[in-house]
Structure 1
Amino acid sequence: MRTYYINNGKENGGPFTLSELKNQLIDKSTLIWFEGMDEWKYATEIPELQPLIIPISPTIKTETTPKITTQEEASKKRFRIKKSYYYLGLLFLAIFGAVLILNTIQTNKQKELELLNKETQFSNVKIEIQQKESNEDKIQREIQKRIQSQNDAKRKRDSITLRIEEVKTLITQNKATLATINKDLENAKEYKILRSEDSKEEQIYTIQEKINNSNKTIDKLDNELNRLFLLLETIH
């Protein structure tokens, strides 16, 4: 005996015998399948099921009341208004975001410029300090050089002054010696007892040599003294 399966658009049912299908309220939209079929078919396509099909009454069309239409239109209108507000809000957010980004970029650039200016100022101050330090070092070196020069000049003056005093003393001593030798020469010329003429001449000659040597020594010391005085004048 053939059994049938049905589908009312929501779920499957069956298997049913032909007599059981009478109680399943089959209409023309009901799908039927039984063994041997390749696919589901509507009940109207199966001949033996034609008597079982329940006719469907036509749907009564009702006109929508103006009130409902008005509500729908009002709803659509509110939706359009809300949608406009939504896009307007998006536009406002986009503009606000763009302004915020531009302000951020401008602020960052301003900060970078301020930082660059501070670095430049710091570099200028550093260079100025270095120049001042360099100038101070030059001044200190110049002061040290002058002090050293003054000390050297003082030592030279002291040395020359000391030598001048020594030369003066030597000149005085040599002049005193020369005076003594001159007296010896006078005595040698006048002294005649117990002395031959040759002995006298030899004694006079010897004394004369001493006088010449003393004069040379005195002249040499005078020249040195003059040079020392000239040298002393050149030292500042």
Structure 2
Amino acid sequence: MKKYYLHNGVESSGPFDLTELEMKQITATTPVWFSGMPDWKTAAEIDELQILLKVSPPPFKSLPTELEPEPKEKVKKTKLMGLHKNTFYLVLLFVSLIIGSFVLNILEENRKAELSKINHQTEIENRQFLLKEREIKEQNERLAEQQRQEAERIARERKDTINKRLSEIKIEKIENQTLLDEAKNKLLKANNFQFFRTADEKSKEINVLQTEISHLKSELEILENEQNQLNLELERTH
């Protein structure tokens, strides 16, 4: 895009583009120069500047009385709020950009504040979640420890019960074995002793002794089985 320089007879100014030249309100006699020109020319000598030239009206002469004066509003049409139309639009654009930038900054600050609030809330929730997890873990550990202690208590009690029962079985076996030996001796004597008894009395006594011996053997066998099972259970508890 070409850039133009102006000269007021004392000093030059510029460079300006076409929009800026329009704001300068140059006339046909305004000296203009741009890169590539050997010397200064008037604006009227440059074709692309014809549309920007300010037209100077001829000297005012009295108009016939029947002609009404042109309304002043037409003269003011090219200005808005005291500014040239193009200048007004530029100012309006600049103000709009400033307002838009201000609004965008407010929206960005609000967005950042909202994100910060969300992040802070998320951080609080994460801390609460971690604390809750820690509490659950500690509760599980306490429960596991209680269960372990309870299992150990039950095992100790069972062990004590087994040992007590084994002691009882040992005594019962001794007692039953003693009774069994006595019954066997009585049976032996009953088979050999024949005085002052009938055959029927001898048979009844032998039957009673045999029944007692059978019962005592059965009791001893039951006690032996129970003792073996308790010993196995006691070994597993160790």
TM-score range, shorter chain: 0.5 to 0.7
Specify which structure has the bigger relative contact order, considering alpha-carbon pairs within 8 angstroms and separated by 6 or more residues.
1
How far did 1:222 drift? 0.8
Instruction: Give me the identity figure in percent.
Output: 27
For 2:236, the equivalent position in structure 1 comes to 234
Q: For residues 6-17 of structure 1, what are the structure 2 equivalents within 5 Å?
A: none
1:210 to 200, 209, 212: 212
CA distance in 2 between counterparts of 1:141 and 1:233 reads 28
2:109 to 107, 110, 121: 107
Q: For residues 112-131 of structure 1, what are the structure 2 equivalents within 5 Å?
A: 112-131=114-133
Letter in 2 for 1:179: D
1:113 is paired with a residue whose SS is helix
How far did 1:100 drift? 4.5
For 1:222, the equivalent position in structure 2 comes to 224
How far did 1:97 drift? 5.6
Q: What do the CA deviations read for 1:19-64 (whole angstroms, capped 9, x no partner)?
A: xxxxxxxxxxxxxxxxxxxxxxxxxxxxxxxxxxxxxxxxxxxxxx
2:223 is paired with a residue whose SS is helix
Q: What do the CA deviations read for 1:98-152 (whole angstroms, capped 9, x no partner)?
A: 5554433332222221111111111111222222222222222222222222222
For 1:37, the equivalent position in structure 2 comes to none
Number of equivalences: 154
Q: Specify every segment of 5 or more residues in structure 1 that has no aligned partner in the other structure, as ranges.
A: 1-82
How far did 1:192 drift? 3.3
Q: For residues 127-166 of structure 1, what are the structure 2 equivalents within 5 Å?
A: 127-166=129-168
CA distance in 2 between counterparts of 1:143 and 1:165 reads 33
Please identify, of 149-158 and 175-184, the stretch whose mean Cα deviation from structure 2 is larger.
149-158
Letter in 1 for 2:138: E
CA distance in 2 between counterparts of 1:147 and 1:200 reads 63
* Bigger Rg, which one: 1
Matched, 1:167 2:174: no
CA distance in 1 between counterparts of 2:227 and 2:147 reads 30
How far did 1:175 drift? 0.6
Q: What's the TM-score once normalised by structure 1's chain length?
A: 0.54
CA distance in 2 between counterparts of 1:164 and 1:217 reads 15
Letter in 2 for 1:169: I
CA distance in 2 between counterparts of 1:186 and 1:94 reads 133
CA distance in 2 between counterparts of 1:95 and 1:220 reads 106
How far did 1:171 drift? 0.9
Q: Specify every segment of 5 or more residues in structure 2 that has no aligned partner in the other structure, as ranges.
A: 1-82
Q: What's the TM-score once normalised by structure 2's chain length?
A: 0.53
Letter in 2 for 1:152: I
CA distance in 2 between counterparts of 1:199 and 1:155 reads 52
CA distance in 2 between counterparts of 1:211 and 1:91 reads 126
1:194 is paired with a residue whose SS is coil
How far did 1:216 drift? 1.1
